[in-house]
Chains A and B, each alone.
Chain A
Amino acid sequence: MSAASAAVPVTRRAVLRTAFTAAVLAGTAAALGPVLRSRRPRQTLTPAPLAEETYRGRHIAVDRAGVRIDGRPLHVMRRADGSYLSGVNHFQSYPTRLELARAAVDELGSAQLALASAPHHG
């Protein structure tokens, strides 16, 4: 870069034009960035829910990735008989994840699940 600058004398106007163009390009990238970043996860990580409903005022979504209540992940576990347990209900299981989510809402009252990842077991 410094070698090129030394070999080819540049006018003040050329320098300004280059800087302006770079700024426009950078600005475009900055503007497009969030669009590009947000589109991909929406397509790959959040498929259409297998089940979705409002239950007692809370939004429940069940998809392949898991169960969410008002957008927050509910920690889901399985029993040997195939039924489901959650971070909210460890001592009672449910035949489907939708029933599990409703039971969690019943127990949560107005509390929101924590955003942090669910506790790890074992």
Chain B
Amino acid sequence: MYTRQNQKDLTSAQKKRFTAAVLELKRDGTYDAFVRTHDKFFVPDRDRKLRVGHMSPSFFPWHRRYLLEFEKQLRAVDPGVSIPYWDWTTDTSPVSSLWADDFLGGTGRTADRQVMTGPFAYDKGNWTVTVGITESRFLTRNLGRPQNPIALPTPAELQWAVDDPVYDVAPWDSTATGGGFRNKLEGWAAPRSERWRNHNKVHQWIGGHMTGGTAPNDPAFWLHHAFVDLIWDRWQRKHPRSGYLPAVPPSLGDPQRGRVIALDEPMPPWDVTPRELLGHDGLYRYA
């Protein structure tokens, strides 16, 4: 049992140990395998294929297991390390300590969005992007998207998702707008005036690599998704009588049959069911 801390509470020594472990996984090739996995399992919902990671009910359990796998590798490097979480409703500045030189480094420069500061700056020699869709070998960010400003989700916006007592609704995809905590938090469901909310909006606010399928190229990905994982806990506590949906696979003839994961169906690539990931007692806790 270990603790995932709020990133703002980490000591300088803890930040150093976290980034050092991440750099070690990058050096030995483990990190880039994780980047490929995320990209491979991004299946858009028009495709008649199984969706596990995004635009589907298993968004939360799939990413929980994905983070656990990454954290296992981190802890093999340094048993004292865990994934910190970033509460993006409170630490909203592009110059907060999260983006300082001694942690994740700051935003990209204007011309090419290249991150120039911190341990993941290309010029430091330890962070070369190998799984990307551009020719650029350096990490990119565009915090706050100054050319078309975007704000991080507000506490009210997050609460709007957490207050929904229904986990997810048919058709179990990005167009599920009849309610549902999952789509409101993943961020496809939103009032017309805003269109994107919560999780999706955070990817856009960071910008650069974070807007694409190879988002985990940016170590900020893990801190963002640790908070998403914590929010799932919050929702469960607020709605103790609600559970993961769909409880059973969609019936024969339902267009979503075979495309979404029900409570007891195995999720690739780990063959683990959402039921097995509903809690994390005995594994880790949030402080």
B49 CB contact (under 8 Å) in A85, A89, A118, A122: A122
Contact check, B135 vs A112: say whether CB atoms are below 8 A apart.
yes
Which residue on chain A has the smallest CB distance to residue B268?
A122
Q: Which residues of A contact B199 (CB under 8 A)?
A: 91
| B70 in the interface (beta carbon within 8 A) | no
- B-contacting residues of A (Cβ < 8 Å)? 75, 77-82, 85, 87-93, 106-115, 118-122
Complex contacts, B135 vs chain A, CB 8 Å: 111-115
Contact flags (1/0) for B171-215 with A, using CB distance below 8 Å? 101110000000000010000000110011101100110011111
Known: A107-B142, A108-B134, A122-B43. 8 other contacts (CB 8 A): A77-B44, A91-B187, A109-B108, A119-B213, A121-B39, A121-B40, A121-B47, A122-B47
Chain B interface residue bracket vs A: 35 or more
Q: Closest residue to A120 on the B side, CB-wise? A: B40
- Would B133 and A107 count as touching, CB distance under 8 A? no
Closest 6 CB pairs between A and B? A78-B46, A91-B200, A77-B44, A80-B45, A91-B203, A111-B134
Do residues A80 and B171 form an inter-chain contact, with CB atoms below 8 A?
yes
Smallest distance from the beta carbon of B42 to chain A beta carbons, Å? 5
Contacts of B171 in A (CB 8 A): 80
Check B212–A111 contact: CB distance below 8 A: no
Q: Is there an interface contact between B203 and A110, defined as CB atoms closer than 8 Å?
A: no
Which residues of chain B are near A112, meaning CB under 8 Å? Answer: 134-136
> Is B66 among interface residues, defined by CB-CB distance under 8 A?
no
Check if A90 sits within 8 Å of B42, measured CB to CB: yes
B91 within 8 A of A: no
A109–B140 contact, CB under 8 A? Answer: yes
**Complexed CA–CA distance, A75 and B43 (Å):** 13
- Report the minimal beta-carbon distance from A27 to chain B, rounded to whole angstroms: 38
Nearest-neighbour CB distance to chain A for B228, whole angstroms, equals: 12
Contact A90 B211 (CB under 8 A): yes
Contacts of A75 in B (CB 8 A): 133
A-B residue pairs in contact (CB < 8 Å), sample of 18 = A78-B44, A78-B47, A80-B55, A80-B173, A87-B213, A88-B211, A90-B42, A90-B211, A90-B212, A90-B213, A91-B199, A92-B200, A93-B174, A106-B147, A107-B211, A109-B108, A113-B134, A119-B133
Residue of A nearest to B44 (CB): A77
Partner of A119, one of B39, B49, B196: B39
How many Å lie between the Cα of A122 and that of B43 in the bound state? 6
Cα of A113 to Cα of B132 in the assembled complex, Å:
9
- Picked from B46, B110, B131, the residue with its CB within 8 Å of the CB of A77 is B46
